[in-house]
Structure 1
């Protein structure tokens, strides 16, 4: 039986989903760079031939660690679904001579290199500058048209994003972004392979999105993502996912599959995603490309990742389109045949719709809740009135246990301050959107108030 070394770190699709689909295709050896979620730890040991948790000193040279472990178990493929381990796994696959994203993985991870590559190919994107010091940020703020967005070059999940609207905000934004990156590293949400990655930043123009020119009804966010894969250097789009509007500065609240765009609009979005992926030169990996939608059909590239979309994007695709992307990618990396869609699938081929909602302590307008609340999914499931055919569940491994206080939303920390991740299945994308709007409005009302002693812990 073929053997796969699965490198686990924080982020990406739920580990339970990934493990079960990988184990159905091969003997799995798990290299856990992050602690296993308690809800899946037992199942993981049952699904995996071995589970290795290296000590901190062993992780100093992560590529060597992965290579050594792959050779020890006789791995025929090595893969990860975590943004923070993508580069290390790609480099290890190069050493081992196995299929992987290739050396271009850095271009799909470092936002500075990504934007430079796209600029060289003449692709539409916001104006930008790489910055490594506060002085460089001040200079960029004078040269670029505002408002501006400061991003950590190696971050994920909208972590360390800061909006700069005026020159006097530059110093505070710089300090806050650096502080958040340091805190994210402490929590395990940071690049695992590139030394001093928390010191690299990019600042870019905030372009004006317009969802109304792309969707037939209000309530949608002004960007979409194209989900797909690169196999043997060829990009295969699978489908599009839509979004609810982000929470300031640009924290994602919900992703919904499929995106209800017209066929012509979807085709134009896919072709821009194809140009973006082709420019990066990736070889064998999942793909997640985000694109901002503007007035009059204008589009801008936000970013491309050399892995599948995080949160519940992969399970949503399986539910809606019947495609096991994890299993198909494993098959491809093992040299087996994997039949990817001939073109990006649409709502016409979907079996209903599905979406994932990040629970943040902000209302539908992005305003902070007036008081602290306690996470209680049974209360939510019982008291929030959703559409008749909709089904709501909670992703346990990505959520706080019931009874925990919902964190105060921190705009700079982004998804690091989430309380839970919920999955909703419905008849169509519009129903998912409306149910999520209902859910967001109801949460501060139906969740129980947090006790003083809970908040102070």
Structure 2
């Protein structure tokens, strides 16, 4: 039987899902760069031939560590599903002569290089500037129109995103984003291989999105993601996932599979995703490409990753389209024949629908909850009336334990301030969207009041201003605030 080394770090699909499917295809060895979620720690021992957690000294040269471990177990393939380990694993595969994302993996990780690559290819994207210092940001802010978005070049999950609405916010946004990246690194949400990655940023214009021309129903967010894979350098789109509107600045709240786009519009989106992936020159890896939808048929590339979508994207695809993407990628990396979809699958190919909802302490308009609440999935399941045929569950490894106080949402913290991740299965995507809207509205009412009397009360922050995705924030937008990461569920980059 073939041997596979899986490099685990924060983020990506739930580890339990990945382990079960990879172990069914090969003898599986696990190199754990992040602590295993308690919910899967026990099963890892039974599913894996070995589980190794290196100490800090061993991680100093991550590529050499991966190569050494792969050679020790006789790995025929090495892979990761974590955004933070993509580059290191790609370089290790190159050194080992194994199939992998290839030398271009960094282009799908560093938002600065990604945007420069797309600029040279003439692809539609927001205007941008790379920044490395506060003076760089000041210079860029003088050239781009307000409002603009400051991003950490190597972040995920909307961590350290800052909307800058006026010149007087530039310095505080820079300070805040640097602090957020430092705190994220302490929580394990940071690039593991590239030195000084936390000092790299990009600032870009905020393009105006629109949904009316793309979706028949209201309530959808103004961007979609194209899930796919590159096999032997050939891009294979798999399907599209839709979104609910983001929470300010651009934190993802929910992903829904499939996206309800008409066939002709889906084909246009897929064509742009193909151009984006082809321009990067990836070789063998999953892909996750986010695209902003605008008026008059306009689209802009947000970003591409050289790995499958995080959170529950992969399990959703398996449920809706009966495709085990983890197992299929393992098979491909091992040199086995894989029948990838001949085209991107759409609503007409789906069996029902599925979606994942990130629990954040903000209501449907993006305003902070009036008071603190404790997370309790059983209460939510029993108290919120969903559509007939809908089934709601919680993802334990990506959620705080019941009884934990829901963290105050901090815009710059992005997904770092999540409390839980819920999965919903329903008859169709419209029902998922409707049920998620019901859940978001009900959560601050049905969850029990916080029992921790020392927990700070919500304070005014950018989250208290209703968010209008892809539009200019109100001129009175507050100065960016420093987040207080309080949650410790497994990180889930989108």
Q: Does the pair score TM above 0.5? A: yes
Give the Cα separation in 1 of the matches to 2:122 and 2:454: 53
| Pairing of 1:365-404 with structure 2 (within 5 A) | 365-404=365-404
Instruction: Name the counterpart of 1:205.
Output: 205
Give the Cα separation in 2 of the matches to 1:454 and 1:376: 19
Q: Partner of 1:373: helix, strand, or coil?
A: coil
Instruction: Name the counterpart of 2:221.
Output: 221
Instruction: Name the counterpart of 1:238.
Output: 238
TM superposition shift of 1:211: 1.1
Instruction: Name the counterpart of 1:134.
Output: 134
Question: Higher RCO, 1 or 2 (CA under 8 Å, sep at least 6)?
Answer: 2
Instruction: Name the counterpart of 1:157.
Output: 157
Matched, 1:422 2:422: yes
Mind listing any 5+ residue stretches in structure 2 that lack a counterpart? Answer: 457-485, 487-494
| Pairing of 1:305-384 with structure 2 (within 5 A) | 305-384=305-384
| Pairing of 1:17-36 with structure 2 (within 5 A) | 17-36=17-36
Instruction: Name the counterpart of 1:73.
Output: 73
Q: Partner of 2:309: helix, strand, or coil?
A: coil
Q: Partner of 2:311: helix, strand, or coil?
A: coil
Conservation of the 8 A alpha-carbon contact between 2:405 and 2:452: no
* Count of residue correspondences: 457
Give the Cα separation in 1 of the matches to 2:452 and 2:346: 48
Conservation of the 8 A alpha-carbon contact between 1:405 and 1:454: no
TM superposition shift of 1:144: 1.0
Instruction: Name the counterpart of 2:260.
Output: 260
Give the Cα separation in 2 of the matches to 1:333 and 1:344: 21
Q: Alpha-carbon deviations, 1:191-243, whole Å to 9, x = none?
A: 00001100000000000000111000110000000000000000000000000
Give the Cα separation in 2 of the matches to 1:446 and 1:454: 21
Q: Partner of 1:362: helix, strand, or coil?
A: coil
Instruction: Name the counterpart of 2:55.
Output: 55
Give the Cα separation in 2 of the matches to 1:213 and 1:57: 54
Give the Cα separation in 1 of the matches to 2:146 and 2:325: 39
Conservation of the 8 A alpha-carbon contact between 2:134 and 2:171: yes
Conservation of the 8 A alpha-carbon contact between 1:87 and 1:193: yes
Q: Partner of 1:56: helix, strand, or coil?
A: coil
Instruction: Name the counterpart of 1:46.
Output: 46
Give the Cα separation in 2 of the matches to 1:351 and 1:233: 30
Q: Partner of 1:412: helix, strand, or coil?
A: helix
Greater shift after overlay, 80-89 or 144-153? 144-153
TM-score (norm 1): 0.99
Q: Partner of 1:79: helix, strand, or coil?
A: strand
Instruction: Name the counterpart of 2:483.
Output: none
Q: Alpha-carbon deviations, 1:75-107, whole Å to 9, x = none?
A: 000000000000000000000000000010000
Give the Cα separation in 2 of the matches to 1:454 and 1:302: 40
Conservation of the 8 A alpha-carbon contact between 2:398 and 2:421: yes
Instruction: Name the counterpart of 1:251.
Output: 251
Matched, 1:408 2:401: no
Conservation of the 8 A alpha-carbon contact between 2:14 and 2:312: yes
Conservation of the 8 A alpha-carbon contact between 1:404 and 1:454: no
Conservation of the 8 A alpha-carbon contact between 2:291 and 2:301: yes
Q: Alpha-carbon deviations, 1:353-384, whole Å to 9, x = none?
A: 00000000000000000110000000000000
Give the Cα separation in 1 of the matches to 2:60 and 2:346: 44
Instruction: Name the counterpart of 1:37.
Output: 37
TM superposition shift of 1:453: 3.7
Alignment RMSD: 0.8
* 1:162–1:372 Cα change, 3 Å: same
Give the Cα separation in 1 of the matches to 2:18 and 2:270: 26
TM superposition shift of 1:146: 2.0
Give the Cα separation in 1 of the matches to 2:391 and 2:348: 21
Q: Partner of 2:57: helix, strand, or coil?
A: helix
Give the Cα separation in 2 of the matches to 1:94 and 1:349: 37
Mind listing any 5+ residue stretches in structure 1 that lack a counterpart? Answer: none
TM superposition shift of 1:145: 1.7
Matched, 1:274 2:271: no
TM superposition shift of 1:452: 3.4
Give the Cα separation in 1 of the matches to 2:63 and 2:451: 46
Conservation of the 8 A alpha-carbon contact between 2:236 and 2:342: yes
Conservation of the 8 A alpha-carbon contact between 2:8 and 2:81: yes
Q: Partner of 1:107: helix, strand, or coil?
A: helix
Conservation of the 8 A alpha-carbon contact between 1:312 and 1:356: yes
Give the Cα separation in 2 of the matches to 1:336 and 1:375: 44
Conservation of the 8 A alpha-carbon contact between 1:353 and 1:425: yes
Q: Partner of 1:455: helix, strand, or coil?
A: coil
Give the Cα separation in 1 of the matches to 2:313 and 2:338: 20
Give the Cα separation in 2 of the matches to 1:39 and 1:108: 31
TM superposition shift of 1:454: 6.2
Give the Cα separation in 1 of the matches to 2:392 and 2:351: 17
TM superposition shift of 1:147: 1.1
Runs of 4+ in 1 over 3 A off after TM superposition: none
TM superposition shift of 1:455: 2.5
Matched, 1:290 2:272: no
Q: Partner of 2:31: helix, strand, or coil?
A: strand
Give the Cα separation in 2 of the matches to 1:132 and 1:333: 36
